[in-house]
Amino acid sequence: MTYLLHIAIMANLYILLVLAANLPAGRVGLLSLCQAAFYGIGAYLAAFFLIQFQLPFVMVAGAVMLAAALVSLLVSYASIKLKGDYFVLATLGFQMLVFTLLYNWISVTRGPYGISGIPGVQLFGWGFGKLSGVGGYFVFSTVLSVAAATLFVHLKRSPFGSLTQAVRDDETALAALGRNPDRIKFQSFFISAAFSALAGLLYASYIGYIDPTSFTLDESIFILSALFIGGVGNVAGPVAGALFVVILPEVLRFVGLPDAVAANLRQIIYGLALVLTMFLRPQGLFGEAEVAK
């Protein structure tokens, strides 16, 4: 039971991450390779706030999400200034810079040693409603992911949702109609970074230990893979993608392969799924939008 709950928590975590990645990549059409950087920034800041001050959840989440969203200004500036592959390369550079900082700035982040002993989230602060054990985190993470999914459904239906879609489909036409595409890119990265950071907070407090290797370029690519296999543009796609990448390794575990082979086989399946999706259904299994140029 604990095992199943753990998988459910990880699924909720990835639902948050992939939903957040869907906003710039799926709705606005900006392929960013730095989602794991925001995830990492969220996790490290959360560790700092949880260890130093025992603030209630709402305050920690607010601080972490706001901080990551402010850092995202750098990326949205790049998205306004650069197009196509140049933007992808800029996000790659940003991802690598954040990782280098987390890894080498040992006096602040403890570098490769990681940060251990991160206390659980306290819903009301100062010891009240302290979460511990998988049961508590299962309820908590489910509430968060359902809330996030609801929010993203609303965002999609809202005027803002139509605007993001307009940027993806025809930026020039949108500008000609008197809307500011730059502002929409900026807003979508702001929201995306905030929710990635929220996933980071969940991860740090649930696992209790973080180190930079959880927030690499590979993790960014993994999140994007989940998004593109599941589908882009709507909410069902990202949720399906997150469930796929979290549940597949567990299924392979029961097939009884040795661990080393299973890890590689899993990656091969993800890779093949990605190539096949791009051939047969570029919008992803449950997605609705075409992947943007």
Partner 1 sequence: MLLQFVINGLITGILYSLAAVGFAIAYNTTHVFHIAAAAVYTAAAYCFFFAVRTVGMPVWAAAGVALAFAAALNLACEVAVYRPLNQRKAAHSVVMIASIGVLAVILNLVAMLFGNETKIIDNTIQPAIRWGSLILSRPQAFQLGLGIAALAAFAVFLRFTSFGLKARAFGNDPALFALFGFGDASTRMGAYAIGGVFLGAASCLSAYDVGMSPHSGMPVLINALVAMIIGGIGRFTACIAGGILLGILQALAVWRFAANWQPAVTFSLLLVFLFFRPQGLFGYKKRIV
Residue 224 as a binder of partner 1 (CB under 8 A): the answer is yes
Which DSSP state fits 105? -
Q: How many CB atoms lie within 10 A of CB 228?
A: 28
**Single-letter amino acid, residue 121:** V
**Nearest CA to 46 among 72, 19, 74, 65?**
65
| Rg of the chain on CA atoms, in Å | 19
Of 57-65, 77-85, 187-195, 242-250, the window that binds partner 1 (rule: CB under 8 A) is 77-85
Residues whose CB falls within 8 Å of the CB of residue 14, separated by 6 or more in sequence, listed in order = 199, 223, 226, 242, 243, 245, 246
- Determine if 288 is a binding residue for partner 1 (CB under 8 A): no
Q: Which of 270, 286, 287, 289 binds partner 1 (CB under 8 A)?
A: 270
Q: Candidates 49-57, 158-166, 233-241, 273-281 — which segment interacts with partner 1 by CB under 8 A? A: 273-281
The smaller minimum CB distance to partner 1, of residues 51 and 96, is found at 96
Nearer to partner 1, 94 or 190 (CB): 94
Q: Are 105 and 111 in contact (CB under 8 A)?
A: yes
**Count of all residues that appear for the chain in the document:** 293
Unique residue bearing structure tokens 């603030």: 55
Distances (CA, A) of 62 to 45, 55, 132: 11, 11, 21
Q: Which of 153, 186, 247, 267 binds partner 1 (CB under 8 A)?
A: 267
Binds partner 1 (CB under 8 A): choice among 66, 80, 88, 252: 88
Q: Does 192 bind partner 1 (CB under 8 A)?
A: no
The reply to whether 108 sits near partner 1 by the rule CB under 8 A is no
Check binding of 3 to partner 1 (CB under 8 A).
no
Among 5, 82, 123, 252, binds partner 1 (CB under 8 A): 82
**Candidate residues 7, 51, 265, 285; the one interacting with partner 1 per rule CB under 8 A:** 265
Q: What is the nearest approach in angstroms of partner 1 to the Cβ of residue 241?
A: 12
Out of 92, 123, 175, 247, the only residue in the binding site for partner 1 (CB under 8 A) is 92
What are the CA-CA distances from residue 72 to residues 54, 66, 98, 282 (Å)?
26, 10, 12, 27
CB 270 within 8 Å of CB 229: yes
- Nearest residue to 106 (alpha-carbon basis) of 94, 98, 114: 114
Q: Please report, as ranges, the residues that interact with partner 1 according to CB under 8 A.
A: 29, 31, 78, 81-86, 88-90, 92-94, 96-97, 99-101, 103-104, 217, 221, 224-225, 228, 260-261, 264-265, 267-268, 270-275, 278-279, 282, 290-293
